[in-house]
Chain A
Amino acid sequence: MSSTVKIYSNQTIWDKISHINWGLFVLILMISGIGFAALYSAAGGSFSPWAARQMMRFVALLGGMFVIALIDVRWWYKLAWPIYFIGFAMLVVVEIMGHIGMGAQRWIDLGIIQLQPSELMKIAVVMVLARYFHAATLEDMRRIPFLIVPALIIIAPVGLVLLQPDLGTSLMIVMAGVSMFFMAGASIWLFVAGGVLAASSIPVAWYLMHDYQKQRVMTFLNPESDPLGAGYHIIQSKIALGSGGLSGKGFLEGTQSRLNFLPEKQTDFIFTLWAEEWGFLGGCFLLFLFGVVFMYGPWIAMKARHNFSRYLAMGLIVNFSLYVFINISMVMGLIPVVGAPLPLVSYGGTAMMSALIGFGLMMSVHVHRDSKVTRV
């Protein structure tokens, strides 16, 4: 593991700025803009309490994104492990003395912002795995012992996150991590075996699950069974979406959201609010924007010159898309309510921060696509 990287750059700061993916930036602006509009509507046509704060956060975090983008990708290569360990330590701290909220311990209160270490961990896992697989050969990837370390890299934080307990985030870390195995060339049979293992572990998982998690799965399977209880969220969300129709009820006219039938409309169910007011056309437009963002992942990876950058870009975009998929599937009643925000759109600092950090790293990969990361 002891490796050093020589950081050498011949790019000036202006070169770097000119190489930032401005197209991606515009997309981020558009998606966030939709978020601001939705939050404005969620508050009944008011900037307070959500839209204004979200905009201020966005501007601040956007600065952070650019800073991250301008830092040489080789630094990120070097910092992968430290970031991972810091994140891991924070997870331990949360586990020991974390705040109690929503029946789960997830936050560290940093004063200005409530930091959710599990969010940071998602990125850290991607970074560390990208680094680990950076020098791996195809033969390495076929050797099971070689894969034990990266498996541990995933399992260790996932275990802690599960303890919180946060099933949604755990699954997302696992999925993002596993997809990196796949991209680095691990055998397809490994996934088949893993899938079988996962399936067989369902009874065990069921036994270990908290009551509220079991409840969520049960009501997902049949939301109408408990229309005023846990199934309420899903039913109301589907009603809101469905009643939007083709062109929606109109901006600020979403009755389900405005009259508070829709729970958590400013966070997890923001997509519902958007699609209720703007209909199928508005919903598809947002999905389209996300789709274009997803295309940036492979595009940036393709242009990168070395594996770390490639894996990092792909891992980050997979991570981001998982967020989007899980949230939207959830509000449409395709998967259980797991409590995942829609990145860039939902109200909340942590989710926006991790999304913008992710894009910052992707941009860094792009800006420094010609730098060489070599093991010395």
Chain B
Amino acid sequence: MVSALQMSVLAVLGGRLAWLQLVNGRRYKMLSDKNRINVKMISPSRGGIFDRNGIALAVNTQNFRVLLVPEQAKDIAGVLTSLQRVIVLNDAQIERVIKRAKRVAKFIPIEVKDKLSWEEVSKIEVNLPDLPGLSIGVGDVRSYPYGGATAHVVGYVGQPSEADLGEDPLFTLPGFRLGKTGFEKRYDRQMRGSAGTKQVEVNVIGREVRELNSQPGAEGKSAALSIDIELQKFVQEKIATQKSATAVVMDAHTGAVYAMASHPGFDPNLFTHGMPADVWEGLLANPGHPLTNKAIAGQYPPASTFKMMTALAGLRAGKINRNRTVYCPGHYEYGTDRFHCWKSSGHGAVNLEEALSQSCDTYFYELSTEIGIEAIAKTARDFGLGRTLDFELREERPGLVPDKAWKMGRFAERWQPGETIVASIGQGYLQTTPLQLAVMTARLVNGGYAVKPWITGYVGDQNLTQGKWPKMSVSAKHLALIKSGMDMVVNSKTGTAKGSKIEDPAYAFGGKTGTAQVRRITKAERAAGDRNEDLPWKQRHHGLFVGYAPYNNPRYVCAVVVEHGGGGSASAAPLAKDILLETQKRAPAKNAIQGIVDGKVAQRTNKQQTKI
């Protein structure tokens, strides 16, 4: 009886064994593989960013660090003390490593110190035999050789935020960085590459026992920009003479952006190498908004640079021609309101070219009452104002071109005729970005093509350059007339920017000044003749200038805004002069952007470079 019981229990056990191993064997086999096989990611290296001539703007530099594998170092404290005799290492760092060694598995390397200098690396290498458990590791760190000069355009990389996580398995890798701003953000996906995987057999504590299978990922793609870094640097240094300013240099025909600078800026390397807290707080507190790319995200009243739009709307409407004059007594009466010209003594009788070159407000006040806001707004939009331009950098803002419908939608109020008058000289609700002003200028001087700005030349071997733009429905005669007025701004004796004239006719340029009020000038101030320079910085006018060069056959356009810099002719025009002169000397348009082949700047274009 006992034996029978024993045998039946044995049978039950055998049956159970069959159930587990034969019936469910496949399932458990899978679970067992899941247990032992760990898929590890191999992080791809991020693609580089180059300027149009193949000069590196963003690269991966090797970050040398000294690592400690606890199980190889018998006496961790002893080894670290020995290391202290070789490189600078404070006690807090040692304590951190010892603490960490207690928490993590003994075979996982712990970073003792990173960003080692070459000297430190070699010192450690020499002493390695006496430093058991230590080794030198290399990691990628994003580096921006031109620092602040490319901070806004190229942008920077940073750790993925909580919200980003889950988008790409790569983000979970320690030390992974993704593009946060500028170009780094725009083409992040392409430059990031994709993770390779490595199947490894691991034991219960996760140590790799052997590699089973590996699948290489794709390295990140490199990119070439339309930027000319030497010009970019020049522009950045130029505008850095002001407290807060921004400038864009663009090709009038292709839309290629050659330089885009915003000051104050910051050193993007701080974001990848570690930002001291006081520097960060300084950046946030700076009234010049150093983290903002003001060339595309700064929205300013276009002021007198908008007068070309009002003028062209008038020409299109047939209300004005070359010869029509308006008498400027220094102000314009509309109903009971008086609108002042900047020149209180008045310009006398002025025609269109004179009105532009001398920036007579009264001319445009009167014109605007004849054509109305809708006509002005339409022309402004035709020329790229009031909406984003599909520029690659995501920080781009749309600006604002107001009209009746907008005001009704925004304030539920009717449009007032006085608001048209204010808009005619680029004040009031109007908001434009410097990039939009550059585009507006380009469309005025390139023969009427609806050029749009771009910065991306190549991403990987994909050619993303642009150059063919649709012809706009605008009369060549009208454009010529406006350009003539703009030529006179700089080159005539009475032009508002005559002081910035380039004497060498080969480099001469034209343009338009603008002085944007940031607050209303009160009657009392006007009567007292208060000078703008005496106001607190934040209340002073913005100085603007849009320009093109060479003036007889424009190739380059630029827009300069000096925040609270006072009058455009005094603050912005001199900067534009230097920028346009340098641009013409460097002549970036003569060089095609160097392509990218296999992640490297193509060879053929190097020859091209030497040819010129």
CB <8 Å contact, B29 and A243? yes
CB <8 Å contact, B13 and A287? yes
CA distance A242 to B29 in the complex (A): 7
CB <8 Å contact, B21 and A239? no
CA distance A350 to B165 in the complex (A): 54
Q: Which residue of A lies closest to B35 (CB)?
A: A261
B contact residues around A251 at 8 Å (CB): none
* In the complex, B201 has a CB within 8 A of chain A: yes
Q: Which residue of A lies closest to B13 (CB)?
A: A328
CB <8 Å contact, B2 and A314? yes
Q: Which residue of B lies closest to A244 (CB)?
A: B21
Identify which of B2, B14, B20 contacts A238 (C-beta below 8 A).
Answer: B20
Q: Which residues of A from 275 to 294 have beta carbons under 8 Å from B?
A: 275, 279-280, 283-284, 287, 290-291, 294
* In the complex, B349 has a CB within 8 A of chain A: no
CB <8 Å contact, A246 and B36? no
* In the complex, A7 has a CB within 8 A of chain B: no
Which of A34-42, A153-161, A252-260 binds B?
A252-260
CA distance A42 to B203 in the complex (A): 14
CA distance A236 to B16 in the complex (A): 16
Interface string of B562-598 (1 = CB under 8 A from A): 0000000000000000000000000000000000000
CB <8 Å contact, A238 and B28? yes
Q: Which residues of B from 1 to 29 have beta carbons under 8 Å from A?
A: 2-3, 6-7, 9-10, 12-14, 16-18, 20-22, 24-29
Interface string of A179-193 (1 = CB under 8 A from B): 100110000000000
A contact residues around B28 at 8 Å (CB): 238-243
B contact residues around A317 at 8 Å (CB): 2
* In the complex, B204 has a CB within 8 A of chain A: yes
CA distance A236 to B14 in the complex (A): 19
Q: Number of residues in B with C-beta < 8 Å to the partner?
A: 32
Which of A240, A244, A295 counts the most B-chain CB atoms under 10 A from its CB? A244
CB <8 Å contact, B21 and A241? yes
CB <8 Å contact, A321 and B22? no
B contact residues around A182 at 8 Å (CB): 2
Q: Number of residues in A with C-beta < 8 Å to the partner?
A: 40
CA distance A259 to B212 in the complex (A): 15
* In the complex, A201 has a CB within 8 A of chain B: no
B contact residues around A334 at 8 Å (CB): 12-13, 16
Contacts A183-B2, A332-B17 hold; do A255 and B29 have CB atoms under 8 A apart? no
* In the complex, A168 has a CB within 8 A of chain B: no
* In the complex, B205 has a CB within 8 A of chain A: yes
CA distance A236 to B20 in the complex (A): 12
CB <8 Å contact, A287 and B3? no
Q: Which residue of A lies closest to B9 (CB)?
A: A325
A contact residues around B26 at 8 Å (CB): 245
CA distance A325 to B203 in the complex (A): 30
* In the complex, A360 has a CB within 8 A of chain B: no
Identify which of B21, B203, B204 contacts A275 (C-beta below 8 A).
Answer: B21
* In the complex, B209 has a CB within 8 A of chain A: yes
B contact residues around A241 at 8 Å (CB): 17, 20-21, 28
CB <8 Å contact, A242 and B3? no
* In the complex, B476 has a CB within 8 A of chain A: no
Interface string of B67-96 (1 = CB under 8 A from A): 000000000000000000000000000000
CB <8 Å contact, B13 and A332? yes
* In the complex, A339 has a CB within 8 A of chain B: no
Identify which of B6, B32, B33 contacts A240 (C-beta below 8 A).
Answer: B32
CB <8 Å contact, A295 and B20? no
* In the complex, B472 has a CB within 8 A of chain A: no
> Nearest-CB distance from A185 to chain B (Å)?
12
> Nearest-CB distance from B290 to chain A (Å)?
49
CB <8 Å contact, A287 and B17? yes
CB <8 Å contact, B31 and A243? yes
CA distance A298 to B16 in the complex (A): 26
CA distance A140 to B340 in the complex (A): 131
Identify which of B22, B203, B209 contacts A245 (C-beta below 8 A).
Answer: B22
Contacts A242-B29, A243-B29, A291-B10 hold; do A280 and B21 have CB atoms under 8 A apart? yes
B contact residues around A283 at 8 Å (CB): 14, 17, 21
CB <8 Å contact, A239 and B32? yes
> Nearest-CB distance from A17 to chain B (Å)?
28
Q: Which residue of B lies closest to A232 (CB)?
A: B204
B contact residues around A236 at 8 Å (CB): 35
Contacts A239-B32, A242-B20, A261-B204 hold; do A287 and B14 have CB atoms under 8 A apart? yes
Which of A256, A259, A334 counts the most B-chain CB atoms under 10 A from its CB? A259
CB <8 Å contact, A246 and B14? no
A contact residues around B203 at 8 Å (CB): 258-261
Which of B2, B24, B36, B209 counts the most A-chain CB atoms under 10 A from its CB? B2
B contact residues around A321 at 8 Å (CB): 6, 9
> What DSSP secondary structure best describes chain A's contact surface?
helix
Contacts A261-B204, A287-B17, A334-B16 hold; do A243 and B2 have CB atoms under 8 A apart? no
CA distance A314 to B205 in the complex (A): 46
CA distance A275 to B28 in the complex (A): 13
B contact residues around A280 at 8 Å (CB): 17-18, 21-22
CB <8 Å contact, B10 and A255? no
Contacts A280-B17, A280-B21 hold; do A259 and B29 have CB atoms under 8 A apart? no
CB <8 Å contact, A259 and B202? yes
> Nearest-CB distance from B27 to chain A (Å)?
7
Contacts A242-B28, A245-B21 hold; do A255 and B204 have CB atoms under 8 A apart? no
> Nearest-CB distance from B16 to chain A (Å)?
5
A contact residues around B35 at 8 Å (CB): 236, 239, 255-256, 259, 261
* In the complex, A329 has a CB within 8 A of chain B: yes
* In the complex, A348 has a CB within 8 A of chain B: no
Q: Which residues of A from 217 to 275 have beta carbons under 8 Å from B?
A: 236, 238-246, 255-256, 258-261, 275
CA distance A279 to B20 in the complex (A): 10
* In the complex, A297 has a CB within 8 A of chain B: yes
A contact residues around B7 at 8 Å (CB): 291, 294
B contact residues around A260 at 8 Å (CB): 203-205
> Nearest-CB distance from B38 to chain A (Å)?
11
* In the complex, A318 has a CB within 8 A of chain B: yes
B contact residues around A238 at 8 Å (CB): 20, 28
Contacts A256-B32, A261-B35, A329-B13 hold; do A246 and B201 have CB atoms under 8 A apart? no
CB <8 Å contact, B209 and A284? no
CA distance A182 to B9 in the complex (A): 18
CA distance A372 to B28 in the complex (A): 56
Q: Which residue of B lies closest to A243 (CB)?
A: B32
B contact residues around A245 at 8 Å (CB): 21-22, 25-26, 29
Contacts A294-B3, A294-B6 hold; do A261 and B36 have CB atoms under 8 A apart? yes
> Nearest-CB distance from B202 to chain A (Å)?
7
B contact residues around A325 at 8 Å (CB): 9, 13
A contact residues around B32 at 8 Å (CB): 239-240, 242-243, 255-256, 261
Q: Which residue of B lies closest to A293 (CB)?
A: B6
A contact residues around B2 at 8 Å (CB): 179, 182-183, 297-298, 314, 317-318
A contact residues around B201 at 8 Å (CB): 255, 259
A contact residues around B36 at 8 Å (CB): 255-256, 259, 261
List 21 A-B pairs, Cβ < 8 Å.
A239-B28, A242-B20, A242-B28, A243-B31, A244-B21, A244-B25, A245-B21, A245-B22, A255-B32, A259-B202, A260-B203, A260-B204, A280-B17, A280-B18, A280-B21, A283-B21, A291-B7, A297-B3, A298-B2, A329-B13, A332-B17
B interface residues with partner A (beta carbon < 8 Å): 2-3, 6-7, 9-10, 12-14, 16-18, 20-22, 24-29, 31-33, 35-36, 201-205, 209
For the complex of A and B, 9 pairs with smallest distance between CB atoms: A242-B28, A243-B32, A259-B203, A260-B204, A245-B25, A280-B21, A243-B29, A243-B28, A242-B20
A interface residues with partner B (beta carbon < 8 Å): 179, 182-183, 236, 238-246, 255-256, 258-261, 275, 279-280, 283-284, 287, 290-291, 294-295, 297-298, 314, 317-318, 321, 325, 328-329, 332, 334
Extra pairs beyond A238-B20, A329-B16 (7, CB < 8 Å): A240-B28, A242-B24, A245-B25, A245-B29, A284-B17, A291-B7, A318-B2
